């Protein structure tokens, strides 16, 4: 009889602890993850080269990892080389980070391709929006 009473008390104790944890979890506010706009990616890049002889400046980089995708962007594999352009103002602000061999975390926007028939040129349709590190 003592054994049954003791086991019932232990079971009730565990049940009450479990229900308290569920109540605590309900009181926590969920953290919303920021969404990224359509046609944008947020990625880690390694700069390969900067072609600053013409405007807009063209930068070639290897995508190390895409951290977030906008809703209209298809998956991009790590290791692919992309080219993107930037304006003089953004380049001057981040010139020390936009050098060959440097790694950056940046937001890029895919530019509209117009009437292009050849998909091989799509790597040149990116624009640097911001550097986030």
Q: Report the C-alpha gap between 65 and 43 in whole angstroms.
A: 6
Residue 31 has a pLDDT of 59
Separation in Å, CA 118 to CA 26, 36, 50, 109, 122: 52, 27, 25, 20, 8
Between the alpha carbon of residue 124 and those of residues 13, 35, 112, the distances in Å are 64, 25, 11
* 3-state secondary structure at position 75: coil
For residues 58 and 17, what is the distance between their CA atoms, to the nearest angstrom? 60
Give pLDDT, residue 25.
Answer: 54
User: What pLDDT score does 126 carry?
Assistant: 93
Which residues of the chain register pLDDT less than 70?
1-3, 17-34, 113-124
Kindly report, residue by residue over 96-117, the tens digit of the pLDDT.
999 999 999 999 999 876 555 5
pTM of the entire predicted model? 0.68
Write down the pLDDT at residue 122: 43
Question: Using one digit for the tens of pLDDT, what is the confidence trace for 51-63?
Answer: 877 777 899 999 9
pLDDT at residue number 112:
78
């Amino acid at each position: 009889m003592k054994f049954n009473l003791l086991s019932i008390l232990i079971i009730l104790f565990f049940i009450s602890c479990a229900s308290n944890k569920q109540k605590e979890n309900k009181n926590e506010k969920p953290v919303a993850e920021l969404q990224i706009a359509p046609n944008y990616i947020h990625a880690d890049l390694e700069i390969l080269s900067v072609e600053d002889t013409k405007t807009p400046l063209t930068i070639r980089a290897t995508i190390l990892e895409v951290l977030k995708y906008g809703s209209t962007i298809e998956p991009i594999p790590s290791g692919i080389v992309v080219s993107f352009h930037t304006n003089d103002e953004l380049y001057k602000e981040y010139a020390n980070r936009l050098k060959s061999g440097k790694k950056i975390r940046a937001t890029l926007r895919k530019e509209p391709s117009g009437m292009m028939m050849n998909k091989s040129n799509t790597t040149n349709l990116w624009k640097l929006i911001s550097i986030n590190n």
